[in-house]
Amino acid sequence: MRTEDGRIIHLADYRRTDFVLERVDLTFELDPTETRVEARLIFHRREGADPAAPLVLDGDELTLAGLLFDQVEMEPSRYDATPDSLTIRDLPASEPFEITITTVINPEANTQLMGLYRTNGVYCTQCEAEGFRRITYFPDRPDVLAVYTVNIIADKASCPLLLSNGNFLGGAGYGEGKHFAAWFDPHPKPSYLFALVAGDLGVVEDTFVTMSGREVALRIYVEHGKEPRAAYAMDALKRSMRWDEEAFGCEYDLDIFMVVAVSDFNMGAMENKGLNVFNDKYVLADPETATDQDYANIEAIIAHEYFHNWTGNRVTCRDWFQLCLKEGLTVYRDHEFSADQRSRAVKRIAEVRHLKSEQFPEDAGPLAHPVRPVKYREINNFYTTTVYEKGSEVTRMIATLVGRETFRKGMDLYFERHDGDAATIEDFVKCFEAASGRDLTQFSLWYHQAGTPLVTVSSAYDAGKGVLTLSLEQTIPPTPGQAVKEPMHIPLRFGLLLADGSEAVPSAVEGAEVTGDVLHLTARRQTVTFSGIASRPVVSLNRGFSAPINLHFEQAPADLAHIARNDSDLFARWQALTDLALPNLVAAARNARAGTPVEPDAMLADTLLAIAADETLEPAFRAQALALPSESDIARELASNNDPDAIRAGREAVFAFVAGRDPAVFAALTERHRTEGPFAPDAASAGRRALRNAALAYLAVAEGTPARAAGAFAAADNMTDLSAALGVLAHRFPDAPETAEALEAFRARFADNALVLDKWFSIQATIPGAGALDRVKRLMGSPHFTMANPNRVRALVGTFAFANPTGFNRADGAGYRFLAEQILAIDPKNPQLAARILTAMRSWRALEEVRADHALNALRSISNAGKLSSDVADIVERMLK
């Protein structure tokens, strides 16, 4: 484990390497505990570099087993090797030279799943961000690009399959039951995109003909017997390849594209050139075992990793500060892909829900950082929702500012200028300035200033003059290291809704630039007047969530209801419902905390019911509308002194009020939206299931008995309906015999399918209330659970901490103490996993004081524990600052 050395890396210290790496030849002799790696590296000193500078290569827990200079053993006086670096002196001033490094590594013992490791008997690698240095000494940074040849030698019986990046060169026997294979990747790449997989796996094969007529072999490798569950991933891959050609002109560039699904993986997936490695959770699906959400995730992540081939691989990042250059952009591209494949508005609502529940809290707490940070201690901790999701929103705003067509021109220019390069955010932004002629200097603050901007708006209508006045003010809250902020360029899509549902078109606008339906807020305060407005309009602002901001705009409930029922933008309709619901939920939480009765609002309930019953609206949208803001949404709105029990009690009261208002509406929905025929994972069918299951949750509460959910559980013929019914049973009727029976039936039926049992763990981990902790502890003792698999840990411990506000935030602090113990137990084995789960406590300062005090003590117990990984030390220290 790399332990904390407190060293901070600064963007301002960036400089190029002294040596240029020309070629890489790797030979692996695979062995579970003693894999020999020989790396032949050809370098030359960069022109203009210090002729005396040594070559310093990165390592991590390495031991040097051999070192040659131009094929001759190197004199020990010329180098120093430690586990984390190899320094070589007295190197040629300009001519190329060859260094051959031999290391011996132990894949079996590699529990942190970085570098080369074994998962279920399969050798695989994860090198982003700094895993390659755990394989061999290397200039392990993204601006060192080289062409790689990889030779793999392994036991033929246990590893019939030998894979690496690029195109297959050839293979042969290698004596003593071994064989070898050679791969060559003609595209220069940084080490983080290196991959090797060896083992015995099943395969699904297909082909794709690119836009210029080249045939590409497609292969998805999964455990034997699971091949049928890879069909949907293959379908999503082909659709992704086509879409990238059509939407961005990006064509695939090797003879083969491979995806390997593995069961032990720290993240979702990894875009290694030509050889993506996936968490099997994001590959395997069939109707019996996967929910509609699983299908949507697979489609999105297959697309995401494939799209990295151009945004990430062909154009990579100069340094890790530029991570959003590939991640934010690629998330934006996968969002657009899913929007085109499914319902754009529903997709946007889901994105915004996710952004608000994950990124907004990060941006409002101790872990807040800019989309393009300027310093880090542990880069693994910057694979955040800010870099990914806010990074995507920033890219989306560029598209909004310059327009769709110009955005495409800017992307073309980006590929033209930077193909084969390691680029920066500045390089990226310049392409859109060039394509549009717009100055994006102020806009670029979105990359540099952390914190969610708050835009406060008020409106006034002068009927006599026919003038609408909007007063807007932006404030950007202070975040760690950034006390004072400059005003940003905030693009706000808007519409002026009239009483009949049509839209007013102003004859003139003063006080702000308006392009099309976008109002540009650029100053701290702006007063904008719209003339020629014949009657009072309702202002629909930030349509499509054109800017990732908090908007405080006091609008009358009747106006919000008008937007909710009439806006031409479905997203705005959903947003208005949320704005209608939140004050109710906040008031309910306050009342619950004060012990006074909660009085829910009939207007909210009636608007929700009207939308639920509106058969002109797509079911998926109605399902989103029926999902009230979550407990964490309410906590964010309250901002401080949060009491999760009161928040839940208040929300439950509102939910029950809506449920009881007119249960016949929900009953009708469960009847009308049955999906007939064989299961299809398409968006329309998924939407109907979502609507029925939303209605089921309301009905169960209205009826107050588990009977209907138990019936739905028994009748379910797909995992979406089955797990939804189980969720209603467990969360609404945790102590009912029906629930115990259903949980056991589910467990027994899927006992041999770990991914499905993760749902069983998660559903139980999120049963609200103080009893959750004991339940989670008991489940950790289940034979289906293991701390050694990241998916299991995330499904049980992670879900409990992230998604069970009342259970985790128990008033006696036992949830926090439990998490601290788990973090300390996981950290020595898998620091990345430990650090990620610890971020569940990122909003601890917003808790009421008794809980906050317990949380503080738990965090201190981690920070005082002594030997911590750099990953956990970095997180805990930032949280305590």
| Contact status: 380 vs ligand ARG (CB under 6 A) | yes
Which residue is associated with the tokens 């056991």?
744
Strand ranges inside 643-697, DSSP E: none
Give helix then strand counts, H and E, for the chain: 30, 33
Shortest distance (Å) from residue 301 CB to ligand ARG: 8
Between 146 and 267, CB nearer to ligand ARG: 267
Residue nearest to ligand ARG (CB): 383
Q: Does 839 bind ligand ARG (CB under 6 A)?
A: no
Is the Cβ of residue 327 or residue 393 nearer to ligand ARG in the bound state? 327
Q: Which residues in the 311-350 window bind Zn ion by CB under 5 A?
A: 327, 330
Could you say which of 271, 378, 643, 758 contacts ligand ARG (CB under 6 A)?
A: 271
User: Strand 97-105 vs strand 167-173: parallel, antiparallel, or unpaired?
Assistant: unpaired
- We find the least distance from the C-beta atom of residue 87 to Zn ion, in angstroms, to be 33
* Residue 378 in contact with ligand ARG, rule: CB under 6 A: no
List the interface residues with ligand ARG, window 481-510 (CB under 6 A). none
Nearer to ligand ARG, 124 or 492 (CB): 124
By CB under 6 A, name the one of 267, 422, 658, 695 that touches ligand ARG. 267
Tell me the C-alpha distance between 42 and 24, whole Å: 7
Q: Would you say 267 or 859 has its CB closer to ligand ARG?
A: 267
Terminus-to-terminus CA distance in the chain, angstroms? 24
Residue 791 is a binding residue for ligand ARG (CB under 6 A):
no
Q: Smallest gap, in angstroms, from Cβ of residue 330 to Zn ion?
A: 5
Query: Does position 577 bind ligand ARG by CB under 6 A?
Result: no
Our CB check for Zn ion shows the closer of 327 and 351 to be: 327
- Which DSSP string corresponds to 99-150? EEEEEEE-GGG-TT--EEEEETTEEEEE-TTTTGGGTS-B--STT--EEEEE
Catalytic residue among 128, 130, 271, 305: 305
Q: How many whole angstroms separate alpha carbon 822 and alpha carbon 844?
A: 18
Residue 128 contacts which entry, Zn ion, ligand ARG, none (Cβ below 5-8 A, type-dependent): ligand ARG
The least distance separating Zn ion from the CB of residue 392, rounded to whole angstroms, comes to 10
The binder of ligand ARG chosen from 1, 129, 355, 592 (CB under 6 A): 129
CA angle 595-858-637, nearest 5°?
40
- Tokens 């999906």, residue located: 675
Rounded CA separation 127/272 (Å): 9
- Report phi then psi at 505, rounded to 5: -115, 110
The tokens for 367 are: 């872990």
Q: What is the 3-state secondary structure (H, E, C) of 20-50?
A: EEEEEEEEEECCCCCEEEEEEEEEEECCCCC
Pick what 270 binds: ligand ARG, Zn ion, none; C-beta below 5 to 8 Å, kind-dependent: ligand ARG
Q: Which stretch binds ligand ARG (CB under 6 A): 200-208, 263-271, 445-453, 595-603?
A: 263-271
Beta strand 454-462 pairing with 467-475: antiparallel
User: Out of ligand ARG, Zn ion, none, which partner does residue 196 contact, by CB within 5 to 8 A per kind?
Assistant: none
What is each CA distance from 519 to 492, 495, 513, in whole angstroms? 5, 10, 6
Of 330 and 424, which has the nearer Cβ to Zn ion?
A: 330
The closest alpha carbon to 524, from 551, 490, 558, 501, belongs to 490
| Burial grade of 212 (CB within 10 A; 0-12, 13-18, 19 or more) | exposed
**What DSSP character marks residue 212?**
T
59-90 burial, b at 16+ Cβ within 10 Å, e below that, comes to bbbbebeebebeeeebeeeebebeebebebee
Is-catalytic flag, 631? Answer: no
> How many residues lie near ligand ARG (CB under 6 A)?
11
Q: Rounded distance, CA 796 to CA 794, Å?
A: 6
Q: What's the Cα-to-Cα distance from 841 to each of 858, 874, 877, 880, rounded to whole Å?
A: 10, 14, 12, 11
Which structure tokens are listed for 635? 């906590």
Chain length of the chain: 881
Rounded least distance, CB 267 to ligand ARG, Å: 4
Residue 868 interacting with ligand ARG (CB under 6 A): no
Site for ligand ARG in 321-340 (CB under 6 A): 327
Q: Which is closer to Zn ion, CB of 136 or CB of 276?
A: 276
Nearest approach, Cβ of 332 to Zn ion (angstroms)? 11
Site for ligand ARG in 226-255 (CB under 6 A): none
The rounded distance, in Å, linking the Cα atoms of 628 and 625 is 7
CB of 312 to Zn ion, least distance (A): 7
Using CB under 6 A, which of the segments 149-157, 267-275, 574-582, 775-783 binds ligand ARG?
267-275
Decide whether 103 or 330 has the Cβ nearer to Zn ion: 330
Q: Taking CB under 6 A as the rule, does residue 572 contact ligand ARG?
A: no
Task: State how far the Cα of 444 lies from the Cα of 463, in Å rounded to an integer.
Answer: 39
Residues 428-487 that bind Zn ion (CB under 5 A): none
- At position 128, the amino acid (one-letter code) is E
Give whichever of 223 and 305 is closer to ligand ARG, judged by the CB atom. Answer: 305
Shortest separation between residue 246's beta carbon and ligand ARG, angstroms: 22
Pick 580 or 873: Cβ nearer ligand ARG: 873
Rule CB under 6 A: say whether 264 interacts with ligand ARG. no
Q: Which does 129 bind (CB under 5 to 8 A by kind): ligand ARG, Zn ion, none?
A: ligand ARG
Q: Does 111 bind ligand ARG (CB under 6 A)?
A: no
Nearest residue (CB) to ligand ARG, 303 versus 695:
303
**Contacting residue, 146, 218, 269, 625, with ligand ARG by CB under 6 A:** 269
Q: Could you tell me which stretch among 266-274, 403-411, 530-538, 629-637 binds ligand ARG (CB under 6 A)?
A: 266-274
**Among Zn ion, ligand ARG, none, partner that 573 touches (CB below 5 to 8 angstroms by kind):** none
Shortest distance, position 308 Cβ to Zn ion, whole Å: 6
Nearest distance, CB of residue 316 and Zn ion, angstroms: 12
Most distant CA pair in the chain, distance: 95
Residue 599: left (phi > 0), alpha (psi -120 to 50), or beta?
beta
State whether residue 69 is helix, strand or coil: strand
* DSSP code at position 596: P
The per-residue b/e assignment along 452-485, b for 16 or more CB within 10 angstroms, e otherwise, is bbebebebebeeeebbbbbebbbbbeebeebeeb
Q: How far is the CB of 387 from Zn ion (least distance, A)?
A: 10
383 lines the binding site for ligand ARG (CB under 6 A): yes
294 forms part of the interface with ligand ARG (CB under 6 A): no
- Residues at the interface with ligand ARG (CB under 6 A): 128-129, 267, 269-271, 304-305, 327, 380, 383
> Which of the residues are catalytic?
305
Chain residues in the site for Zn ion (CB under 5 A): 327, 330
